[in-house]
Amino acid sequence: MRGRRALLPWVLLAPALTVIGLLLLFPLGRIVWLSFREYRLRNLVSGESDFIGFANYATLLTDPYLWRIAMVNTVVFAAVAVFTTIVVGTLVALLLAALRPVPRVVVVSCVMVAWAMPAVSGTYVWIWIFDVDDGVVAQALTSLGLVDPSGYNWFADRLFFYAIVTLNIVHGGFPFVAVTVLAGLLTVPRELHEAARIDGAGAWKRFWHVTFPVLRPVFAVVTVLSTIWDFKVFAQIYLMPGGDVGGSRMLNLGVWSYVRSFGHNDYGLGSAIAVLLTLLLLAITVLYLRALFREDGVG
């Protein structure tokens, strides 16, 4: 009887685990397999490939483009985007928590429109806003005399390029953070805030010493998910002018893997880049969770 009870959860989870295995683990295993082989266009046609061991990884790790461009773009952009998204989302959540129920529902509905917008549509909106000739920003700055009438190509500058991508990511990601943090804020006992207010604590101290400790698990979830999403951003970079060109200074690891695979027909090296990105994500997630649990006295 005890053995059957121990087996029951696995039986119930079997269908979901099977689907996850087929949709996630098999493609991941396939990418790892490709990363150890020389797999180019001719191999795609013939279906045969040669095992070359860690040659793709040696080529990748000795490529200056990885360390000077792709890795920097990936890590720095993700760090800025995650931090900005969480800050903006938290501020919006605090605003929503201060509203009455009816206005709160209206504002949340409006905010969720940004989250529901497809990445492709949102990216083209930002491309139009910063268009060299007819963009809203270009016209406004030209009318103020801050930009030459011939226009300025924001997408040709690495810093401005990723600033636009960050705006795009924050615009699409802050609603998730806002709604999630709002759900946590509504569970914080009012007595804690009232006691802190009586003790003379200001708004910032009440948030940092009362609200944040209670919502630490919530912030852990949104931070980990935002990190995963922002490290593997693809469409928002690939669709930007210059974001699909091999050798460009604008590529991150995800887009570089795609361009290397399908633009240069080097599927082995492209798979090695994808594996490196996956390992990087796992390492960052594990380190963050360990630090979080250490602060909570777990483990």
Assess contact for 164 and 237: CB atoms under 8 A.
no
CA-nearest of 217, 231, 235 to 282 is 231
How does pLDDT run across 177-199, given as a tens digit for each residue?
999 999 888 887 777 767 767 66
- 299: confidence class by pLDDT, cuts 50, 70, 90: very low
Residue 297, phi-psi category: left (phi > 0), alpha (psi -120 to 50), beta (remainder): left
CA-nearest of 54, 52, 75, 72 to 64 is 72
Crossing angle of helices 119-129 and 158-185, in 10° steps, is: 130
CB-based contacts of 170, cutoff 8 Å, min separation 6: 81, 84, 85, 88
In this prediction the pTM is: 0.85
Give me 188's structure tokens.
């914080």
3 state DSSP class of 50: strand
CATH, range 51-295: 1.10.3720.10
**How distant is the alpha carbon of residue 283 from its chain centre?**
15
Q: What is the spatial distance between Cα 252 and Cα 256, in angstroms, rounded to a whole number?
A: 6
Q: What pLDDT shows up at residue 293?
A: 66
How does pLDDT run across 74-119, given as a tens digit for each residue?
999 999 999 999 999 999 998 888 888 888 888 888 888 888 888 8
How does pLDDT run across 221-261, given as a tens digit for each residue?
888 889 888 988 999 999 988 887 877 889 999 999 999 98
In the predicted structure, residue 295 carries a pLDDT above the cut 70: no
Domain ranges of the chain: 51-295
Q: What is the spatial distance between Cα 65 and Cα 257, in angstroms, rounded to a whole number?
A: 12
Assess contact for 231 and 274: CB atoms under 8 A.
no
Q: What is the spatial distance between Cα 230 and Cα 77, in angstroms, rounded to a whole number?
A: 8
Q: Which residues pair with 67 in a beta bridge?
A: none
3 state DSSP class of 37: strand
Query: C-alpha angle with apex 17: 15 to 20, nearest 5 degrees?
Result: 110
